[in-house]
């Protein structure tokens, strides 16, 4: 047995979450539904590759419109 082990210790946060899940068993299904809505999606790799290749590089100074210097002095 390890010297640092605290047998059967649960933090207040863990106890709260366990009680919440015990009181409301449908909460986990709701979490999974929310995750599926926002994160679990099929990624179209070809489309993302096309987006990355079509990207236009930004000028170092975005307000400089031409070789003459400041805007309006071209």
pLDDT of residue 50: 95
Residue 13 corresponds to which tokens in the numbers above?
């946060």
Residue 3 corresponds to which tokens in the numbers above?
């010297």
Eight-state DSSP code of residue 70 = S
Please give the sequence-ordered ranges of beta strands (E in DSSP) within the chain, or none if there are none.
none
21-61 pLDDT, tens digit each: 999 999 999 999 999 888 888 889 999 999 999 998 887 88
9-30 pLDDT, tens digit each: 899 999 999 999 999 999 999 9
As a whole number of angstroms, the distance between CA 63 and CA 46 comes to 33
Exposed/middle/buried for 64, CB within 10 Å: 0-12, 13-18, 19+? middle
């Amino acid at each position: 047995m390890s010297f640092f082990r605290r047998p059967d210790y649960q933090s207040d946060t863990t106890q709260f979450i366990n009680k919440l899940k015990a009181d409301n068993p449908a909460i986990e299904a709701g979490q999974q539904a929310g995750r599926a809505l926002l994160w679990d999606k099929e990624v179209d790799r070809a489309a993302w590759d096309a987006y990355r290749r079509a990207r236009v590089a930004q000028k170092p100074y975005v307000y400089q419109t031409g070789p003459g210097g400041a805007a309006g002095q071209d």
